Amino acid sequence: MGAATVRLDPAFTVGPVRPRTFGSFVEHMGRCVYTGIYEPDHPGADELGFRTDVAQLVRELGVTVVRYPGGNFVSNYRWEDGVGPKADRPTQLDLAWRSVETNQVGTDDFVDWARGVGVEPMMAVNLGTRGLQEAIDLLLYCNAETGTAWPDRRAKNGHTEPHDIRVWCLGNEMDGPWQMGHKTAEEYARVAEETARAMRRIDEGLELVACGSSNRGMPTFGTWERVVLERCFDLVDHISAHAYYEPVDGDVDSFLASSEDMHRFIESVVATADHVATVKGSDKRIMVSFDEWNVWFQERFHGESSLEIREAPELIEDVYDVTDAVVVGSLLITLLQHTDRVSMACQAQLVNVIAPIATRPGGGAWRQTIFHPFALTAAYARGTVLRPAVHCDQVQTKAFGPVDQVVVTATHDPETGDLAVFVVNRSRTESAELTLDVAAAVGGHPTAYALVEHLQVHDDDTSASNTEAQPDRVTPRPGDAAVVGTDSTTLTATLPPTSWHCIRLTEGTVQ
Ligand code: AHR
């Protein structure tokens, strides 16, 4: 049994909880769009062809912003094919995923869906097979007032009001040789600079995301960010980071410590961005858009070239277990721990393709295990992210050396007095006895806390997962946290091995 002592003080803060931390990603890939969010023949489809059962789960997940339409797909996408009367839209071959793209869902449809489920759309432009002109055209189509050709075409397609999309990604993973139109850092920096400049001429207030590295192991990592930002520093607000985690060669201990990689990734990108700021003599702070992250068993994927050309194929539909949910929960903790520099994050993807929501064509939709830590964190992280002081045992990992057994973050909402503590025990074998000291004074007044709820994702069978037949095999269940002591400022809980926890407290002044 390990021990973990956590001290919280609402005065020690990292930064605000950013709603966009709880973003997701819809790519035209596999069954994310077709038979995922969209299935006009489904008994539960709405008048636009979107599945209402999926929309309901998206709302429950608490997603705030959704990146679209890719991913690798965007780098060979002709957005014009996806607007206008559906019967007139051409069927194309998507080379990114060797799939038949019917274009029955496109920009307007996606925005309709996003507004309907109450999420902010975030758009990516194709800087792979296309470039500046098409990016401008798409921006005008989406955001300009009517009176010129592109927005008039939007109006003709049923959308008189501009879509007013605020966040735009300048391409996708342009550092990766797998990307259609892959570029060197210098080549990409030049295209991104010119595209950003033109887009800003249309709307100075857009939020632009430059492509960063596809993962921390890329040979160009660090240099890529420096070169891109040296050129685009004044023109962009965010730089992207992408990371997918899996147990490499069966190494589950390192897998459970994946948040270590994400932490180092963010720190390195921030250091590089701030180095560029220093050289430029600027106080501007470029933010990290962690706009693709998740667990993905890439060892099981044999590459795009191995794919048979099909329409809406079952592609990387990983089934997640308890360990995966705990890892996802710890990655969310890391994102919150870096809320001062991570402006947004998108779990990749939303439905079917490495996703928290799974569907069967014509059938049901259900929550994968990883749904639960996301939904609870999105629901209860409010106000300000605190900087806890943590003392705990360590676990040994091959990939990262010794790491803390327990990772923790907490948020405090000064409006309501609510405190939410998110904790993971990343040991596979040892429980941890948690002692949480919340004996801080808020505004000079000693504060007592009452436990609202302690939910945990844990199962003695860490390989347990959810299916359509057993959709609640793994679901959050009550933990044993209790507020102890006469002044109600200490909480204890047992954290079983491989477990994720959401502990909610509310404050009241000690009499
Ligand atoms: O999310 C799946 C793929 O992973 C995306 O298309 C790409 O951007 C990344 O490599």
Q: What pLDDT, in 10s, does the model give residues 232-242?
A: 999 999 999 99
Task: Locate 194 and state its tokens.
Answer: 């010119």
**DSSP state at residue 318:** P
Q: Alpha helix locations (H) across 161-234?
A: 185-202, 223-232
Q: Read off the pLDDT band of 447 (50, 70, 90).
A: confident
Q: Is the pLDDT of residue 441 over 70?
A: no
Coil/strand/helix, residue 67:
strand
Q: If we measure between CA atoms, which residue out of 407, 383, 384 comes closest to residue 395?
A: 407
CA nearest ligand 1 atom 6, residue: 71
Greatest alpha-carbon span in the chain: 72
pLDDT, tens digit, for every residue of 4-17? Answer: 999 998 889 999 99
Would strands 92-94 and 99-101 be described as parallel, antiparallel, or unpaired?
antiparallel
Sign for the CA dihedral angle at 286, 291, 296, 301 comes to negative
Percent of the chain with pLDDT over 70: 98
Cβ pair 226, 210 in contact under 8 A = no
Q: Is 430 a catalytic residue?
A: no
The finding on whether 348 has its CB within 6 A of some atom of ligand 1 is: yes
Cβ pair 389, 398 in contact under 8 A = no
The Cα–Cα gap between 291 and 98 comes to 23
What's the rounded mean pLDDT across residues 401-423?
96
pLDDT (0 to 100) of residue 443: 54
DSSP 355-386: -SEEE-TTS-EEE-TTHHHHHHHHHH--SEEE
pLDDT, tens digit, for every residue of 104-156? Answer: 999 999 999 999 999 999 999 999 999 999 999 999 999 999 999 999 999 99
pLDDT, tens digit, for every residue of 172-228? Answer: 999 999 999 999 999 999 999 999 999 999 999 999 999 999 999 999 999 999 999
Q: Read off the pLDDT band of 448 (50, 70, 90).
A: confident
Q: Among residues 134, 173, 207, 260, which one is catalytic?
A: 173
pLDDT (0 to 100) of residue 306: 86
pLDDT (0 to 100) of residue 489: 81
The finding on whether 212 has its CB within 6 A of some atom of ligand 1 is: no
The Cα–Cα gap between 298 and 305 comes to 14
Q: If we measure between CA atoms, which residue out of 192, 188, 502 comes closest to residue 329?
A: 502
**DSSP state at residue 97:** T
What's the rounded mean pLDDT across residues 369-391?
97
The finding on whether 179 has its CB within 6 A of some atom of ligand 1 is: no
Mutate to test the pocket of ligand 1, among 179, 182, 292, 347 (most ligand atoms within 8 A of CB): 292
Q: Read off the pLDDT band of 507 (50, 70, 90).
A: confident
Coil/strand/helix, residue 51:
strand
Amino acid at 322: V
CA nearest ligand 1 atom 3, residue: 71
Ligand 1, closest atom to CA 97?
6
CA nearest ligand 1 atom 1, residue: 348
pLDDT (0 to 100) of residue 10: 86
DSSP 389-430: EEEE-EEEETTTEEEESEEEEEEEETTTTEEEEEEEE--SS-
Q: Is the pLDDT of residue 479 over 50?
A: yes
Q: Is the pLDDT of residue 501 over 70?
A: yes
pLDDT (0 to 100) of residue 195: 98
Mean residue pLDDT of the chain comes to 96
Ligand 1, closest atom to CA 294?
1
CA of 415 to the centre of ligand 1 (A): 39
Q: If we measure between CA atoms, which residue out of 44, 166, 171, 41 comes closest to residue 111?
A: 166
pLDDT, tens digit, for every residue of 18-41? Answer: 999 999 999 999 999 999 999 999
Ligand 1, closest atom to CA 70?
6
pLDDT (0 to 100) of residue 511: 44
Q: Is 173 a catalytic residue?
A: yes
Instruction: Output the pTM of the full model.
Output: 0.97
Q: Is the pLDDT of residue 510 over 70?
A: no
Q: Which segment, 307-311, 367-371, 442-446, is predicted with the most confidence on average?
A: 367-371
